[in-house]
Structure 1
Amino acid sequence: MSRAVYLHVGAPKTGTTYVQDRLARNAESLARHGVHFPSRSRFVDADLFHFQAALDLLGQDWGGPPGHAEGAWEAMLRRVRRSSGTVVISHEILAPATRDTVCQVMRALEDSEVHVIYSARDLARQLPAAWQESVKQGRKWSFARFLDRVEHGNPWFARAFDLPRVLETWGTQLPPERVHVVTVPHRGPDTPPDLLWHRFCEVLGVDPAWAPLDTDRENRSLGTAETQVVRRLNRRMGRSARREAEFDHLVLEHLAQGHLADRGSPPVRLPPTAYDWVEERTERWLEWLTGSGVDVVGDLDDLRPRRPAPDAPWHDPDRVPPKLVLGAALDALEGMTREAARRPDPDRALAARLRHQARRLRER
């Protein structure tokens, strides 16, 4: 059986949600052309299955009830072994995996031609997006603290973004031509909206026409005021960076994505003082890429940060005017109040069912 397995291991905040959802929406169409995006069953979203498989592989268990990921990696492998052609496994939490974990994956897939895909974005866009995402996921740190940890420390996001480190680990047993870097294009008036998807298809050898359904799913950005509201809410509620399922839908999906995204407060941008070290790090990564022999799909200039104009204002996301924070907080309160009003009261629903049963009994 001829089979190629493409491991899309990240990085976070590089359009991974968009790519995963487009693969899932077009799974049946792609399968007719021999390209498979495995799912556990038709009742479980494919992206959840890939998330759980990645968690199980990494020995982690968060984002759901205890044990929710147990056995998911072996279930993924069973589906891979039943497939021929091209199989795609995708989740960004795989990026900072250890060498031992990578060796485990390669042994499990030794009967397949394994490729690794890493999507990369310039740090000037990626770091603000990553800080917002970490806050939505429950972190309480300031933007300044986050940037300091990325520059001088070793947090999860920094390991996941470290392009040479990730590719040296994941590519340790692979020829360089089977390690693929897809660059995320800068947005511009002439940039096709699905350019990232076309680049991903080029790596897979997929005709984009095989996946005609686009996706409207995206992680929309928060502005400075909205991020501060969620960060302060995390503090007040004692939210954990490990995530708690009971809060995820309300805070992460309903509040952050539904009511606070794209409100119009100043966007989170890299501070002017950070560009020097970001550019220096980028040039080292580009030098590594040029000499590595890995397959690059896209333009390396996509990975170079673009400095704003010298007179462009910068709004410190850690020092947001109270009026802006209050406005965002009131919008959040309104959204949560309306959501609470839409949700049925369990006691009220039970009483209604009892009244209905009593009425049916009286009518007999």
Structure 2
Amino acid sequence: MAKKHKAWIHIGMPGAGDVIEPALAHHHAALVELGVASAARTTAEGFRAAVEMTRSHRDWGLKRGDVEGQWTRLVRRAEKARADLAFSQSLLAAATPEQVALLVDALGGYQVHVVVTTGLDDESGALARWQAAVRKPERLHVIETDGREPAEVWKAFGRVVGFGTASLRLDDVPRATAAFQSLPDALREVERLARRNASLEVRLEELDRKRRRLKRRLGQVA
């Protein structure tokens, strides 16, 4: 019987672990060479999948059709790489047990591992909700981020998953920055802006699809 590939789901709290999501998307091509397929190739893709699984499309001003089927599409595309799968999205930290089960159901061909990076919020609730998804305690991994730089957290994540980060630098990985009087305020604003940008990307992608469909129709009429 063929050995199952692993699915690494990162559900970190807001904080230094936020770098993992954009880094996975930015380095998706290089990661495949290292045996890891990033399910999302852009942060917009990952955002849309997380919104679908958490049923929060209305909170982000989206329609159900904007996100429906996104998670399954990402998983099926990643399966073609015949490698381990990796996905990171902080919205999943708030997923209910039912939503967690639904997400894991699409990963039937994988051995599921969950990685939690600690942050300013209480992660105990998320840990409890995702415990059932991993089935075995050794498949639940916690990375402490207190006092760590993003590069250190990215390196620690790679070590858990099984890839080196020396050639996967963060220099070109997009990161939002803002000046605030306190770290908690800064982290909340960075997350808000990141999700807002991802929501806008989803809308732009939908408009582009409509534009292409209209262009094809006009071409047929001509």
TM-score by length of structure 1 reads 0.46
| Residue of structure 2 equivalent to 1:182 | 143
Q: Pairwise mapping of residues 337-356 of structure 1 onto structure 2 (< 5 A)?
A: none
> Of 50, 62, 77, which residue of structure 1 is paired with 2:46?
50
* Residues 277-324 of structure 1 deviation map (CA, whole Å, 9 limit, x = unaligned): xxxxxxxxxxxxxxxxxxxxxxxxxxxxxxxxxxxxxxxxxxxxxxxx
Q: Does 1:108 align with 2:106?
A: yes
Aligned to 2:71: 73
State how far apart, in whole Å, the 2-side matches of 1:248 and 1:222 are: 23
Correspondence for 2:55: 59
Structure-2 separation of matches of 1:167 and 1:65 = 28
- Looking at structure 2, the residues matched to 51 and 69 of structure 1 have their Cα atoms a distance apart, in angstroms, of 9
Q: Which runs of 5+ in 1 are unaligned?
A: 40-44, 127-160, 232-242, 250-364
Residues 1:193 and 1:8: Cα distance change in structure 2 (over 3 Å): closer
Shift of 1:219: 3.3
2:11 counterpart residue number: 9
- Equivalent in the alignment of 1:281: none
- 1:29 equivalent in alignment to 2:30: yes
Aligned positions of 1:1-364 closer than 5 A:
2-16=4-18, 18-39=19-40, 46-61=42-57, 62-63=59-60, 65-66=62-63, 67-121=65-119, 126=120, 161-173=121-133, 174-186=135-147, 194-212=151-169, 214-224=171-181
- Return the alpha-carbon distance in structure 2 between the equivalents of residues 98 and 184 of structure 1: 24
Task: Answer yes or no: is the 8 Å Cα contact 1:35–1:87 preserved in 2.
Answer: yes
* Contact residue 16 and residue 153 of structure 2 kept, 8 A: no
Code of the aligned partner of 1:203: V
Question: Take 1:106 and 1:193, find their aligned partners in 2: how far apart are those partners?
Answer: 28
Query: Matched residue of 2:94: which SS?
Result: coil
CA RMSD of aligned residues (A): 3.0
Q: Residue 74 of structure 2 aligns to a residue in which SS?
A: helix
Deviation at 1:51, TM superposition (A): 0.6
Tell me, in whole angstroms, the C-alpha distance in 2 between the residues paired with 1:68 and 1:11: 25
Moved more, 60-69 or 176-185: 60-69
Q: 1:94 to 1:103 in 2, by over 3 A?
A: same
The structure whose RCO (Cα within 8 Å, separation 6+) is larger is 2
Give unpaired runs (5+ residues) of structure 2.
190-194, 202-222
Tell me the percent identity. 26
TM-score (norm 2): 0.72
Tell which structure's C-alpha radius of gyration is larger: 1
Distance 1:244 1:49 in 2: 13
Question: Cα 1:215–1:63, aligned 2, differ >3 Å: closer, same or farther?
Answer: farther
Q: Deviations over 1:331-361 (max 9, x none)?
A: xxxxxxxxxxxxxxxxxxxxxxxxxxxxxxx
Task: Tell me if the contact between 1:9 and 1:95 (Cα under 8 Å) persists in the aligned partners.
Answer: yes
